[in-house]
Amino acid sequence: MALLETLSSPLDFLQSRLSTIPHLDVLAAGQEWWKTEGVAISGAIDRAGTPWIRMFDRLGRRADEILYPREYQTMLRLGYRSGVVWRALEENSLIPTYLLMYMISFYDPGVCCPYTVSLGTAVPLAKYGSAESRARFLPQLLRKDDSVWQGATWMTEIDGGSDLGAAVKTIARPAADGWRLTGDKYFASNAAAELAVVAARPEGSPPGVRGLALFLVPRYRQDGSLNCFLRRLKDKIATRSVPTGEIELKDSEAYLLGPADSGIYLILEVLNLSRVANSVVSVALAQRAMADALAYAQGRTAFGKRILDHPLLRRQFEVRLQSLRSAFALAWESVRLLDQVWMERPPYSERYHLFRLVAHLAKYWTAEFAVDMAKWAMEVHGGLGVLAEYGAERWLREAMILAIWEGTSHRQILDGLEVMERKQAHKMLFAQLAEIAPAEQLQQMESEVQRLLNLLPEQKEAEAEALFRRLAVLSADRLSLKYPR
């Protein structure tokens, strides 16, 4: 069945939606590896391959070494070698990166977390690092072999991640050779990274987000000793193979990225890279859940015929296939817009603010969609859907984190509301959609947006989600008309 063939291959699905795909040979080779080797490795690691810590070496010194199954490193390093990070800066385009992430996420969504935060380390270093920092660190992140360094983005502290202005208590003090950071990061993804970008507050800076700055923190000091310390690893619902931990910074060597008073802009640029990745991963996961459900529905019989041939379930597949295409269109529009503005610096262009709105819509809607699709796919499997040995429940576990990582759905709604109110980004979006959406539909939506923006602050926030959801669905459905091959 053609539908099954398209859904069962991330590359076939991409080719059905996009007119051009760079590095098709790289994607095809990667997909073949995943089909023949990677799927088994990923499944085994998900069941029993979580990393663990060797806290001290044999001489009793702190080592904080994270140990992985060897097969995990095989799986992880393949993506780095393929160019999930280095291609972005070498080719001055994010398109190859997000195409690789889509293909990989179909098979293992969690492994794209290290790739995303490594990208989120390399890009601000390339844009805002000093000449000395770039020369010292950037080549390590862009290596094309297994010696490549990994990056990390450590922002969140114990009081939460959304309200960075109040939650970030890590203090930065100037030193003769850079800066020194002291504080704790509570939810540090890719905790074993050789390099991290870290949000901190320079001593004496004003309160709130305007007082934050972004720093580069290597894992080891210049004398070779540990520069940051791992308190523990988190036991998470999903992405089990990715080490997320609590990091202690103790007078840690650090290097400022960009101007100290522009840190919040740099932090948001890093988050933008991750939020777009989150959208791409969400759609790929949804495709995988649907593909598994379809394969099962074709083989399972009930009441004398395949369950796929029952009208209700067949209609559900048809509706969800269109929703998948729409979700992909919204996610890929955020990729396309980011690729146009990712090297901009403040003050940003109007197109950058259009990207911001689309990215918030995409991150919000695709994450919700992934959870819904994974839950439905479990239902298609019936009782087998809740059994770990058959894999359907894994996609729901993996999907649950997507609505939270790099800003909850609430955060996307509120930030989207802010960019509409302050930058009138919705008007730019409607102008973009004018060629593929009925004028009356856009006028109605613009009227609804304006009505919301005119409300008092508390009422405006309370009523924002329903409109934001409608705007996301409208954008996704209309944009899907742009992306048929």
What per-residue confidence (pLDDT) applies to 2? 66
In a domain, 118, yes or no: yes
What per-residue confidence (pLDDT) applies to 237? 84
In a domain, 485, yes or no: no
**% of the chain residues with pLDDT over 70:** 99
- Residue 393 CA to residue 1 CA, distance in Å, equals 25
What per-residue confidence (pLDDT) applies to 86? 98
pLDDT tens across 181-221, in order?
999 999 999 999 999 999 999 999 999 999 999 999 999 99
Residues 129 and 242 in one domain: no
3-state SS class at 169: coil
Q: Quick check: 1 pLDDT over 70?
A: no
Q: Which domain holds residue 116?
A: 8-12+14-141
Residues 81 and 99 in one domain: yes
Residues 38 and 159 in one domain: no
Residues 300 and 326 in one domain: yes
Closest of 154, 253, 264, 268 to residue 208, by C-alpha: 264
Strand partners, 254: 179
Of 406 and 377, more confident: 377
What per-residue confidence (pLDDT) applies to 67? 93
In a domain, 318, yes or no: yes
What per-residue confidence (pLDDT) applies to 225? 96
Closest of 194, 334, 340 to residue 274, by C-alpha: 334
Closest of 172, 181, 169, 187 to residue 250, by C-alpha: 181
- Residue 30 CA to residue 32 CA, distance in Å, equals 5
Give the mean model confidence (pLDDT) for residues 343-347: 97
How distant is the alpha carbon of residue 67 from its chain centre?
24
Residues 95 and 224 in one domain: no
Residues 167 and 124 in one domain: no
What per-residue confidence (pLDDT) applies to 404? 92
> Of 89, 119, 141, which one is at a domain's C-terminal end?
141
Are 295 and 317 spatial neighbours (Cβ–Cβ below 8 Å)?
no
Residues 440 and 469 in one domain: yes
Residues 129 and 210 in one domain: no
In a domain, 1, yes or no: no
**Beta strand spans in 125-241 (E):** 151-154, 171-175, 178-188, 195-202, 213-218, 228-233
Q: Quick check: 485 pLDDT over 80?
A: no
Amino acid at 122: A
Amino acid at 410: H
Are 187 and 156 spatial neighbours (Cβ–Cβ below 8 Å)?
yes
Taking the alpha carbons of 9, 10, 14, 15 in that order, is the dihedral positive or negative?
negative
- Residue 26 CA to residue 12 CA, distance in Å, equals 14
- Residue 417 CA to residue 361 CA, distance in Å, equals 10
Residues 186 and 67 in one domain: no
In a domain, 146, yes or no: no
> Of 87, 114, 141, which one is at a domain's C-terminal end?
141
In a domain, 2, yes or no: no
Give the mean model confidence (pLDDT) for residues 321-328: 97
Please provide the average confidence, as pLDDT, over all residues in the chain: 95
CATH of the domain at 216: 2.40.110.20
Are 170 and 185 spatial neighbours (Cβ–Cβ below 8 Å)?
yes
Give the mean model confidence (pLDDT) for residues 452-481: 97
> How many independent structural domains does the chain possess?
3
Residues 246 and 301 in one domain: no
Are 365 and 336 spatial neighbours (Cβ–Cβ below 8 Å)?
no
Residues 173 and 298 in one domain: no
Residues 412 and 282 in one domain: yes
In a domain, 277, yes or no: yes
Q: Quick check: 418 pLDDT over 90?
A: yes
Of 51 and 23, more confident: 23
pLDDT tens across 250-271, in order?
999 999 999 999 999 999 999 9
CATH of the domain at 131: 1.10.540.10
- Residue 165 CA to residue 161 CA, distance in Å, equals 9
> Of 199, 231, 261, which one is at a domain's C-terminal end?
261
Q: Quick check: 161 pLDDT over 80?
A: no
Which residue shows structure tokens 């000395």?
132
Which residue shows structure tokens 């959208």?
279
Q: Quick check: 479 pLDDT over 60?
A: yes
pLDDT tens across 395-417, in order?
999 999 999 988 899 999 999 99
In a domain, 484, yes or no: no
Longest dimension (CA), the chain: 78
- Residue 284 CA to residue 302 CA, distance in Å, equals 29
